Structure 1
Amino acid sequence: MKKTSIVVYKKFFFEFSILLMAISMPFWMFLNNISIGIALIATLVLVKPKKLIKNFITNKISISFFILYIIMILSLLYTENLSYGYKVLGRCSMFVLIPIIFAGVKEFINQRLFGLILKCYIIATALACLLCLSFAVIKTIEYGAVNPFDKSNGNFFSYFNLTAVLKTHPIYFGVNVVFSLSVLLHELVSSKSILNLSKKSLLIFISFFIIFIPLLNSFILLVSSFIIFSITIYNFFIRKRLQKTYLKVMGFVILLMIPVYFSTYFIAEKFKGIDLIEDITTRDYSGDKFTAIRARNAKIKSSIDLIKDHPLIGVGIGDGTHELIKYYSKNKFEHGVKRGYNSHNQFLTTFIYTGIFGFSILFFIFIFAFTFAIKKKNFYLLFFLIVSVLFFLTESVLERQKGIFIFLFFVSLLPLYESHLLEPKNKTK
């Protein structure tokens, strides 16, 4: 009896630590760090070392991140800015810590826990959105205007000002919103329910997130949402019957995105004056006025130039941005020099840091994960990877702890959604 009670308490503590990670994810980074620490302690205490090691080394994604981390450590041998290199290693320690935690999760995971993790995460994301909107209302009342600064990004209900209370970049926060939306959409049309939410509750959450996404003023988040909607419609709306009421509600809510989008007008302002062909093909990066596309063109061109000069092992994790700024100067991209931009592309950033070896590992992780998701028809993982690829192409995601946490958590959790792993372990025939 006592042994049974101990097992129950151990399982409860472990599940609590994992749920705490999911709940903390949309909120402040210090909460993320606390939750990771608690989950790591629970893993090391409650899971047998042999089983933990076995689960870790047999997981291709875990091993890949471990190898990438080793390559980053080795790059310190030829990097000059060691102090910054150690900072990079510090935040990238999650490359090892989070896979270790999920090597332990594999011993406890079942369909109930998997669904509970996603449910808590979605509710936490919705609460974080409400917190952002509440502070936007408070700021509007305080200043007596929605946009007292009269700037395209000065609206309290959009972009940086909207997520300022969480001290996080709107795009990083937006990944939580878009992925939550994708899970809810899949749940709405799937024959199997893991969230245990009513159809009305699902529609309320979906409607809320659809309306919130345009406020974040990110073209990539809008594109991600469109792709996920398209895949969902193709796979489910066409092949399965869905009540017309749901379709009508969804259509109405999507239409609401239009006035919300134009009320913020940041993206419209950001893309004013864009000559698509000229901005993509130009090699003249002089001057101070830049469209979004022209600035990204300059970053990509300078990053590729740097990679061409250091293709094998890169420049090391301490010197990436410093060396890139030199190439901004060579290309007369003084705007980038002043701002100290990184490449804003994680694939290029990894190549700059660790050369072809590190890039190959990161590329393999995505190829393997995509192949696995398609083969297993794991739509949770597939949707997350679609969002992540666009995220990685436009941001140096693994340069921020927030980005590392989001990506490592879900790329470790979602592959566990396999029927044979999610069957309750006490199930009898």
Structure 2
Amino acid sequence: MNFSLQQLIKKREYIFITLSIIVFFTFTVSYALSAIAMVLFIPFFFLDTKLNIASKVQRIKKDKIALCLVLFILIQCIGYFYSEDKALALKRVWGMFPLVFLPAILFSESIPSNDLKKSLNISKYLIVLTFLYYLIIHVFVDGRTISTFVHDTVKVKLGISQFYLTFIVLIPILVSSKSIYQRDKMLLNSLLLATSFFILLLLGNKTVLLFMLTLIIYGLVLLIKRKKYRSVLFATVFIILGSIMISQSSIVKNRMTVTVNTLDFDLETIITKNRFTETKNTLEHRILINYLAGKEIIKALPFGVGTGDYLAVLYNQYYTINFKAGISQKYNNHNQYFTEFLKTGVLGGVLFIYILFLLLLKINKEQFYYPIFLLLFVVGCFLESYLDRQHGVIIFAFIIPYFYKLD
């Protein structure tokens, strides 16, 4: 028995690589497999020598972020007790449970960078191949057009928002970009980058495309400062081609047209429009939802309405003003900050912001992946309630700590 345990301990690096690949791969494939892979990190943590386990526990005790995340979940549990909808409260608490152990495990483990890179290099191919598989099924088996890919395959079949998928698509984009910069397998990584960028474009997320454009411009400035002129030339050609693709994309073009042509800045006008028709302007929807959620947050200060009742009070506001799109689509807050203040009041809202602040303090100029994923999450939390979904929990509990460890 001891011999078997010792052998397993020696294979820890392979176990870590396998679990990481499963989490990345199953992100778009299976809720159940993702959940199992995350939970398996617990026995992985204890599959170690007694001395190493004791050392890791000590590191966790000194880690402010790990401790704050435990406190964050405890506050959600407290919100359970003054919720009327206990079933939803329990579902939310259980759904966020990986925040208790996953970041703590990743931050405390002494994982060799080569192991992180191995799992990442394998995952980047699997992520792209998975999306290509979905695309082939959508076009050649289901006989649908590419323009309906997001609605028919991503939203209906997979039940995932583009906001979540963009995080996983960014992985092959960033990994292949860095490989190209390091002149490693130039042709293969260029093909992978082009394919990944096409997938990102296909998802049609305006916020992420704007974020990517900002990153590319920032990258060009850094390359010029370092006199990497060949890389600047390559990046410029990539930007031009990408811009052409974007300008010709019906998905992005239609979304921008709807947003620009139907956007109003007067709140009363927005309320009136959405009372009489189910509008398509998602930016106006978010403005209206934030306004309604803000009213409930102020009313429920300082403790919030409860972990299980925040959606009920929001839906009640939708019915009060007859917000047609909100009623038919059952929109959540679409704002993680407002969600936390609405659920558990000042305690949950302030603590969530403090955790993000602690994570932001870990950014330094030598890092590459971590700041990009963290900043995208921080900005995205203004537009999406990430922690309402398992995919968002994976981003916060696994992907962001993983890339911090890699950097």
Distance in 1 of aligned mates of 2:388 and 2:8: 41
Residue 299, structure 1, aligned to residue 293, structure 2: no
Distance in 2 of aligned mates of 1:224 and 1:264: 15
Residue 381, structure 1, aligned to residue 367, structure 2: no
Residue 351, structure 1, aligned to residue 341, structure 2: yes
Give the stretch that moved more between structures: 174-183 or 28-37: 174-183
Distance in 2 of aligned mates of 1:17 and 1:345: 30
Distance in 2 of aligned mates of 1:365 and 1:98: 15
Distance in 2 of aligned mates of 1:44 and 1:392: 33
Residue 261, structure 1, aligned to residue 253, structure 2: no
Question: CA contact under 8 A between 1:14 and 1:46: conserved in structure 2?
Answer: no
| 1:240–1:366 CA distance, 2 compared to 1 (3 A) | farther
| 1:289–1:56 CA distance, 2 compared to 1 (3 A) | same
Distance in 1 of aligned mates of 2:161 and 2:246: 23
Residue 176, structure 1, aligned to residue 165, structure 2: no
Q: Unpaired runs of 5+ in structure 1? A: 148-154, 419-429
What is the identity, as a one-letter code, of the residue corresponding to 2:349?
A: F
Shift of the alpha carbon at 1:247? 3.2
What is the identity, as a one-letter code, of the residue corresponding to 2:20?
A: I
Give the stretch that moved more between structures: 46-55 or 63-72: 46-55
Shift of the alpha carbon at 1:74? 0.9
What is the identity, as a one-letter code, of the residue corresponding to 2:34?
A: N
Shift of the alpha carbon at 1:251? 3.4
Q: 2:379 aligns with which of 390, 406, 409?
A: 390
Shift of the alpha carbon at 1:397? 0.6
What is the identity, as a one-letter code, of the residue corresponding to 2:195?
A: F
Residue 161, structure 1, aligned to residue 153, structure 2: yes
Counterpart position of 2:359: 369
Give the stretch that moved more between structures: 164-173 or 127-136: 164-173
Please provide the CA RMSD for this pair.
2.8
Give the stretch that moved more between structures: 10-19 or 390-399: 10-19
Shift of the alpha carbon at 1:85? 0.6
Distance in 1 of aligned mates of 2:298 and 2:18: 48
Task: Provide the identity percentage.
Answer: 18
Shift of the alpha carbon at 1:248? 5.3
Q: Deviations over 1:21-72 (max 9, x none)?
A: 2333343212212212333222233364423322322222222211110110
Question: CA contact under 8 A between 2:293 and 2:314: conserved in structure 1?
Answer: yes
| 1:354–1:132 CA distance, 2 compared to 1 (3 A) | same
SS of aligned partner of 2:360: helix
Question: CA contact under 8 A between 1:135 and 1:165: conserved in structure 2?
Answer: no
Shift of the alpha carbon at 1:6? 5.3
Question: CA contact under 8 A between 2:27 and 2:34: conserved in structure 1?
Answer: yes
Q: How many residues align?
A: 399
Distance in 1 of aligned mates of 2:34 and 2:205: 24
Q: 1:76 aligns with which of 80, 85, 94?
A: 80
Residue 9, structure 1, aligned to residue 1, structure 2: no
Residue 402, structure 1, aligned to residue 391, structure 2: yes
Q: Unpaired runs of 5+ in structure 2? A: none
What is the identity, as a one-letter code, of the residue corresponding to 2:373?
A: F
Give the stretch that moved more between structures: 308-317 or 170-179: 170-179
What's the TM-score once normalised by structure 2's chain length? 0.87
Question: CA contact under 8 A between 1:312 and 1:356: conserved in structure 2?
Answer: yes
What is the identity, as a one-letter code, of the residue corresponding to 1:297?
A: I
| 1:75–1:162 CA distance, 2 compared to 1 (3 A) | closer
Counterpart position of 1:423: none
Counterpart position of 1:220: 207
Counterpart position of 1:427: none
Distance in 1 of aligned mates of 2:235 and 2:338: 40
Question: CA contact under 8 A between 2:179 and 2:185: conserved in structure 1?
Answer: no
Question: CA contact under 8 A between 1:381 and 1:415: conserved in structure 2?
Answer: yes
Counterpart position of 1:28: 30
Shift of the alpha carbon at 1:336? 1.9
| 1:271–1:103 CA distance, 2 compared to 1 (3 A) | closer
Q: Deviations over 1:315-373 (max 9, x none)?
A: 11100000112223344434423432211111111111111111112112222222211
* 1:246-285 aligned within 5 A: 246-247=234-235, 249-258=237-246, 261-262=249-250, 265-268=253-256, 270-271=258-259, 273-278=261-266, 282-284=270-272, 285=274
Give the stretch that moved more between structures: 9-18 or 159-168: 159-168
What is the identity, as a one-letter code, of the residue corresponding to 1:298?
A: L
Shift of the alpha carbon at 1:187? 4.2
| 1:37–1:371 CA distance, 2 compared to 1 (3 A) | closer
Q: 2:113 aligns with which of 95, 111, 122?
A: 111
What is the identity, as a one-letter code, of the residue corresponding to 2:174?
A: S
Distance in 1 of aligned mates of 2:390 and 2:107: 21
| 1:263–1:338 CA distance, 2 compared to 1 (3 A) | closer
| 1:279–1:267 CA distance, 2 compared to 1 (3 A) | farther
Question: CA contact under 8 A between 1:307 and 1:351: conserved in structure 2?
Answer: yes
What's the TM-score once normalised by structure 1's chain length? 0.83
